[in-house]
Each structure stands twice: as structure tokens, then as C-alpha cells.
Amino acid sequence: MKRILTVAFISLTLGGFAQRAQVQSAYSYLKYEQLDKAKECIDIAVNNENTMNYDKAWYYRGLIYQALYKNEKFANLSNDPLNEALRSYNKALELNPKFEYADDISEKKKILAQQFADMGYVNYNLKNYAGALTAYEGVVSIMPNDTSSYFNAALCAERAGNAAKAKQYYNKLDEMQYKDAKMYHSYAQLYLSEGDTAKALEVLSRGLSRFPEEKSILITQTNIYISSGKNAEALSAINMAIEKDPTNAKLYFAKGTLVEKTEKSKDAAIAAYKKAIELKADYFDAYYNLGALYFNDGAHLANEANSIKDNNQYAKAKAVFEAKFKEAKPYLEKAWELNPKIRVQWLL
């Protein structure tokens, strides 16, 4: 029995030496840039039970796969050499946190991060957003504090139609207090596309707490309030936005339409439309709405006057509604000048 055990032990030991020799052969092939043979040897080694938990085997595997990236002769040997290299380096450190080549792995991973970033840039320009996302996720895994890579990953996920990952990365940017306020607009839009206005408003609220002066957040928030029928909140948000951006004609136009529709405040609507026109002399919508407001007011008064029997009283009423039509005329004519396709039957 002892002789059998001894033979078995010798056999196992020789097998282990053979596989470690395979690892060393892989490294030798790497040095002489014979990457096909290097890859073949190292893949055998990390899948063999004698060397699958050998830190140096995984370290060499990382070096070999990283060398395959963009290699003119051998790049086709792996579909994803950068991620395989990263996985290999991480495995080596997992097996031995005090690995003698830990510092070198750290330097190699920095180079990997730049290679991932370059790959992301190329894929993004090719509109391969899914591929770009994978690349930027590689950067993030190596440099977990790099906010620009999180942003790139979020943007690529969004364009790749991967809303879940886009929200994941935008949320991470929020936690990391990313310094670009417009990120909150993009983040909120993801929820809006899903019909979740409550979550979108929650995101925008966090954005405003960090960037109270950011107009894009306020305007997005305002649009949500308007579309949700939250008129008081919408008006409050518009007024806040106007304070931040007092020369934005669109904000005054939005205020005019809102107060005209909800508060029935003609004077406030007129003032808002006139301010919009003052700021933007060719603002068709503002001219049209202002002219229509005066015209409709005159039409209402004219209909009421039709029931007056007394000629003197009717003459007075007529003077009032004709004055309204007269006020409407220059605004409607200007609207027609800006857009001749509009109906003009009401022009006087």
C-alpha cells in the first residue's frame, strides 16, 4: 500500500511541476511576442486543477491578454481581451492579496483603464453605444472614483436604450455630487419616458437643492407641473425660473398661457405676453395669443351686446367691444406677417 501511495504522490507532484512549467512557457512566449502560443499555454494552465489557483498564472494571463489588445497579428485571438486581462489581474490579487507583483498589476490596470476609455470613445463615435457602455464600465471598475467615466457610462447606457443602467449610473453621480447640473435633467427624463413623474420630480428636487440657480432643472420641473395639472406649483416654478433668467421670453410666454388658462387673469396674461414680445420681437406664439386674447374678449362683449335693446346702451357697448377688436388687430396682423399660413378671417 505504501508503494502505491508513494507512486501516486510522485505522479501528482510531477503533474504540478508540469503545469507550472506550462505557466513559465507562457511567459517565455510572451517575452518573444509569440502571443498565440502564450495564450494557448496560459489558458491550459488556469483551467488545470494543479495551477488554477496559482497567482502567477493569472498574473501572466493578464499580461498576455492585455498584449493581445489591438495587436496587429493576434488581436483576433480574443473577442474581449481587456476584460479578460482585468479579470485575470483581479483573480491573481484575490488568490494572493500580498502578491509580489501587486504593484505591477496596479500599474497595468491604470493602462487598462486608458485602453478601456479609448475603446469607449471609438465605439461611441461609431454609435455602438452598447460597446461603449461596456468599455466605460471597465474604466469604472478600475477607477471607482472617476465621475467622468460614470457620466460616460450613463450617457452610453441611455443611448443604448438601457434605462436601468443609465439610472444606476446617474444615481451614482448624484451620490458622488457630480458637478454638472444638467445631469439631473437627463436623469429625470428617464423617469418621464416611463411615465413616472413623481420620481422625475424627486430627482429634480435633489438637483435644485444642489444647484438652485440651474435654469434647465427649473424649466424641466415646470413642464412636469404643467403637464400634470399642478398649476400652482407650475406658476411658482415659472416665477422662480424668471427670477433666475429674466430675459427668457419663453418663460414669460409660458406664464401667460398658464395664468390665462388657470387663473383667468387677463391682465397678468397680457403683461406676460407683452414682456415675451419685448424680449423676442418675432415671437409668433406670443403675438398670436395676445391678439387672440383681445379678440376673444371683444367677441364675448359683442355677443353680450346683441341682447341690448336700447340703442344708446348698445352704442356704448359697441364702442367697448370694437375697442377690444382694435387692440387685437396689430398683434394678429403681426402674427400673420410672421406666419402667413394662419387663418386670417378675424383680421379687421
Give 259's DSSP letter: I
Q: Which domain holds residue 68?
A: 13-100
pLDDT tens-digit readout, 218-262: 888 888 888 888 888 888 888 888 888 899 998 899 889 888 877
* Residue 19 pLDDT: 64
Residue with cell 483573480: 91
Per-residue pLDDT at 115 exceeds 60: yes
* pLDDT greater than 60 at residue 345: no
Write down the residue that cell numbers 406649483 correspond to.
233
Domain count along the chain: 1
- Does residue 95 lie in a domain region? yes
Tens of pLDDT, residues 37-73: 999 999 999 999 989 999 999 999 999 999 999 999 9
Residue for cell digits 470613445?
121
Q: Is residue 94 part of a domain?
A: yes
The model's pLDDT over 282-325, given as tens digits with 9 standing for 90+, comes to 999 999 998 888 888 888 888 888 888 778 888 887 888 888 78
What b/e sequence results for 7-19 when a residue is b if at least 16 CB atoms lie within 10 Å of its CB, and e otherwise?
Answer: eeeeeeeeeeeeb
221 lies in some domain:
no
Residue 295 in contact with residue 301, Cβ under 8 Å?
no
Which residues, at least 6 apart from 117, have a Cβ–Cβ distance to it below 8 Å? 135, 136, 139, 149
Does 348 have pLDDT greater than 70?
no
Percent of the chain with pLDDT over 70: 92
Asked if residue 107 belongs to a domain, the reply is no
Question: Which whole number is the average pLDDT over 123-135?
Answer: 97
pLDDT tens, 202-215?
A: 999 999 899 987 88
Mean local confidence (pLDDT), 2-26: 58
pLDDT at position 182 over 50 = yes
Q: What CATH number corresponds to the domain at position 86?
A: 1.25.40.10
Given a cut of 60, whether residue 2 has pLDDT beyond it is no
What whole-number percentage of the chain has pLDDT above 90?
59
Separation in Å, CA 103 to CA 27, 107, 156, 235: 18, 6, 32, 59
Do the domain assignments include residue 20? yes
Confirm whether 65 is domain-assigned: yes
Whether residue 311 lies inside any domain: the answer is no
State pTM to two decimals.
0.72
* Angstrom distance (rounded) from CA 1 to CA 3: 5
Tell me, yes or no, whether 51 lies in a domain.
yes
Place of cell 497579428: 73
Mean pLDDT computed over 6-21: 52
262-285 tens-digit pLDDT: 766 788 999 999 999 999 999 999
